[in-house]
Structure 1
Amino acid sequence: MRFFESQREARARSRRLVLAFGLTVLLLVLAVNLALALGWWLSGGFFFSGPLRFPRHFWAVNTGMTLFFVLGGWWLETSQLQHQGAVRLAERMGARALRPSGEPAEQRFANIVDELAIASGLPRPQAMVVARDAAINAFATGWDADGAVVAVTQGALDQLTREELQGLVAHELGHIGEGDTRLNLRLAGMVFGLEMVYRLGQRLLEPDERGGRFLWAVMGFFLMVAGWLGWIAGHALQAAVSRQREFLADARAVQWTRSRDGLGGVLRKVMTQQREGVEARAIGAPLQHLLLVGNAPGRLDRWLDSHPPLAERVRRIYGRPMGPLPLARPEPVGDPTAHPA
């Protein structure tokens, strides 16, 4: 794998996609103005006589309110996620603190985190485990490298060799080192802000106490359409950015471990688990992009998926297609390199 070339390519694509978020906001402003103008025109024939005129400052107010909802929702959601902190967000996703003194596999995981933090030059993140998840998975979270969290599932501890667990941890540290954890939280806030326009239209569509709804319902309907299109575009861009950052973190993992079989083995074992239908712990759609491998059911289309196909990730790591690996407990419990907690 030419990991330096892969990193440059992923970074360049990510920058273009983030800029596209700004363009999406501008297009949403135009769509909202068009939707409200159309709603005003359709309802005007029932309530006004003579030539139809828009109220004073109609366009300025529409633009200002749209930006208020989008940017305000973005700020609120991002602030809430930042205020939660890495540990609380990890706990929300089902993780708990390690118990290395009583669990040799967790001690091995803690040792690997120490080793790769030194190898990558990053501050040591807090290691956590999702104990009730038999699927192989992991995630990293945190606003910055200081105070970040790396969590793995029990399935990863049970099914991965030491080399594979190194590749898994290196991938998550790659996200932290590239600032992906902060970027992902900001993108989640932006998508929430785009959704606020849809919710405003939904609110206007509801009947009032007297049951009257025509004028506001017309406005609300067109506002919902514009908001829904903006929300879909935001989700598609968020997913596209997330896919590029996964490729970047994969390249980082190979660079730091100097092994294709580490992370490559992890992904190939995940392919086997998916084929065998191993049930994964459900994680909400807004947090799917934090995972090593997405597991949300009912995806509408591949272009809304926050992760690239496993076969493509494996092909990039090895330079050729590779099949799944069998699942088996890789080695006895206990780590010869472990040290007392």
Structure 2
Amino acid sequence: MAFMKRILLFAAVNIAIVVTVSLVLNLLGVQPYLTERGLNIGSLAVFCLIWGMVGSFISLLISKKIAIWSMGVEIIDPYAGGRAAELVQMVHRLAKGAGLSKMPDVGIYPGVEINAFATGPSKNNSLVAVSQGLLNRMDRDEVEGVLAHEVAHIANGDMVTMTLIQGVVNAFVMFFARIAAYGVSQLLRGDDEEGASGMGYFAHMMTVFAFEILFGILGSIIVAWFSRYREFRADSGGATLAGRNKMIRALQRLKANTELPDEDQRAPAMAALKISSRKGGWLHLFATHPPLEVRIARLQQYAS
């Protein structure tokens, strides 16, 4: 059932992107970038910018609903009793301390891993969700540290900023991939009078696809760098909101649990406090999260 949900979501999002982009291109009157005279750089730039940005922003706009539906997040009633009510109160107190004018929704989702994330299209329409595993394995102060980190992400506008960066990177990847593919086509062009291309349509598209993979890998380094930067900034914001000791304790608890030889702890997690499995070497360039020991050391350094 969960797998089918993801398939339906993937299909729906992609259909929405294709339809929206097609409408925008038609409304703007963007002409094909490949003409008989060659490559139209202006049309190509607009084409890539629209495709790169629209897809990212559609994903952002529906990110909250997708997270709730795909991960089985149960939104907590603010007037509920027990620990759930305490969780909502904690998030709202942190959100007020961060200067948010509208309180985030708070939810819990099933999962044994220690996990949490913040999502939503804006500061005024956001969600903070934690796994049941986090609530089971962390004490109150550690939970507060995690929640403060997530609220800091919202207050910093990280979801929107990340979307902008990803959209711009996507646009550049598409732009340079098509220029490179056109260059290859020109090199293979015949010397006949009609100036036939050296590759057919299918070969040209495969070349574009190959260059998109290459430039996409390079672009992901930029996206990953910003992601690591925003994690440090959210750690700092979380320390300000909840207290530095609570933030450090939360990270230490996460580190301790990732070191356990537990099959559940090796399961992948989509979260702002997720620990990247990439350690050291050049693979660090693609890590979206800094190593926990580095994050802890930085907070301890500031505390001293």
Aligned-pair CA distance for 1:167:
1.1
Residues in 2 aligned to 1:214 and 1:241: alpha-carbon distance in whole angstroms: 38
Q: Which runs of 5+ in 2 are unaligned?
A: 1-34, 183-197
1:232 to 1:66, Cα distance in 2 relative to 1, 3 A:
farther
Matches within 5 A, 1:24-103: 56=37, 58-59=38-39, 61=40, 63-84=41-62, 86-98=64-76
Residues in 2 aligned to 1:198 and 1:312: alpha-carbon distance in whole angstroms: 35
1:127 aligns with 2:109: no
Residue in 2 that maps onto 1:114? 92
The structure 2 residue matched to 1:313, chosen from 275, 295, 300, is: 295
Residues in 1 aligned to 2:161 and 2:68: alpha-carbon distance in whole angstroms: 17
Residue in 2 that maps onto 1:339? none
1:218 to 1:91, Cα distance in 2 relative to 1, 3 A:
closer
1:221 to 1:82, Cα distance in 2 relative to 1, 3 A:
closer
Residue in 2 that maps onto 1:268? 252
Query: Does structure 1 conserve the Cα–Cα contact (< 8 Å) formed by 2:279 and 2:291?
Result: no
TM-score by length of 2: 0.69
Residue in 1 that maps onto 2:119? 141
1:104 aligns with 2:86: no
Aligned-pair CA distance for 1:73:
1.7
Deviation per CA, 1:117-176: give whole Å up to 9, x if none.
22222131100112x211112111122211111111111111111111111111111111
Give the secondary-structure state (helix, strand or coil) at the position aligned to 1:108. helix
Deviation per CA, 1:243-299: give whole Å up to 9, x if none.
000000100111122232x1212221221222123336645xxxx5x5221467999
Matches within 5 A, 1:242-253: 242-253=227-238
* Greater shift in the superposed pair: 240-249 or 81-90: 81-90
Matches within 5 A, 1:187-266: 187-193=165-171, 196=174, 214-216=199-201, 219-260=204-245, 262-266=246-250
Residue in 1 that maps onto 2:285? 303
Q: CA RMSD in A?
A: 3.6
Aligned-pair CA distance for 1:308:
0.6
1:179 to 1:172, Cα distance in 2 relative to 1, 3 A:
same
Give the secondary-structure state (helix, strand or coil) at the position aligned to 2:122. coil
Aligned-pair CA distance for 1:218:
5.2
Aligned-pair CA distance for 1:198:
9.4
Q: Which runs of 5+ in 1 are unaligned?
A: 1-53, 205-212, 321-341
Aligned length: 250
RCO higher in 1 or 2 (8 Å CA, sep ≥ 6)? 1
Residues in 1 aligned to 2:236 and 2:140: alpha-carbon distance in whole angstroms: 19
Give the secondary-structure state (helix, strand or coil) at the position aligned to 2:288. coil
Residues in 2 aligned to 1:218 and 1:136: alpha-carbon distance in whole angstroms: 46
Residue in 1 that maps onto 2:145? 167
Aligned-pair CA distance for 1:93:
4.0
1:185 to 1:89, Cα distance in 2 relative to 1, 3 A:
farther
The structure 2 residue matched to 1:279, chosen from 237, 251, 265, is: 265
1:80 to 1:135, Cα distance in 2 relative to 1, 3 A:
same
Give the secondary-structure state (helix, strand or coil) at the position aligned to 2:128. strand
Query: Does structure 2 conserve the Cα–Cα contact (< 8 Å) formed by 1:135 and 1:273?
Result: no
Residues in 2 aligned to 1:199 and 1:226: alpha-carbon distance in whole angstroms: 5
Residues in 1 aligned to 2:77 and 2:233: alpha-carbon distance in whole angstroms: 31
Deviation per CA, 1:189-217: give whole Å up to 9, x if none.
3455456569989x99xxxxxxxx94345
